[in-house]
A and B are shown apart, each in its own frame.
Chain A
């Protein structure tokens, strides 16, 4: 947790630097007539999952950012709290700087700190996030861990507007590792996929949208074997209920 605090401090410092004018020159109206820095806090997922094998999970995927059009600092949080073990199965904090590289795409770089139940890992992150043609939201990252292991994740989301308030969101996530890290249950090759379908309703603007849905998780190859060895399941169906929040 101390690592987390340190990173937060770095983030705060850089953020202050952002506020200072780039060049100590000229036109003061650039300050008074321009909205330059922005922030946002959201949780794409804030949900309770119940699996076909009676497993219960609380899942959070949060995102906070501060910055300008040209440079944003982002804190991405992902956690899975397992009811049965009373423990974080996944606890992931990413601190990244994000810059635009194209009309629709941003590059990210930073660190990821995993502190779940079990061994911790720190990763370097290089990522790409943006909007692909046909409105697919894409987020993909390359991770190199402090153990020297490399992996890539890929996430895609498509929102289908049933109406302008009832929104069906389809998600796909996958993880591929280029080397094995047995300690944390990662096998070489395709590790896992997660497919979700959530139907939400924008109740309070876009700031609070409750949803229900189903999620299918599956592990593959060595990763599946590692999971089985430690008594876990390799394929789960979940019913989910939760809300998307945005401040």
Chain B
């Protein structure tokens, strides 16, 4: 899983910018702290599609209702003029991911309105890269759209969020409420 790679990569990047401030340990939660978050779903299990629109810097809608066990297709489109993410996770997971996204900005992978895909693919050594391809999230340039199929295995305290630096803090997140 790419998450593991990224977690491994982090200290390497941290070293590259010669700051020891970041420790891998902080991120041990990773993206999959147990199954509470759910897991990538199969297209045939999809019960319904939820349209999510990204704007600068908020979502429409700002909350969705799901049932435990439900598999949902999120059709996410970016109608803003900045890059946005749609990421399903707990508040803690988002927080950890924000530091990774910060890194992407600092390394020029992520700019305000564009993603440097080439740099993302770039081999950072040891086969590591800054790819952003976790199954629980999509990262979209303005005008783009993508789908995520996600199975919410059990009720949990979840949010969908944009972890582009500053966006979450400014309020770009929504609640996933279990019925």
A contacting B, Cβ–Cβ less than 8 Å: no
Binding site for B on A (CB under 8 A): none
Binding site for A on B (CB under 8 A): none
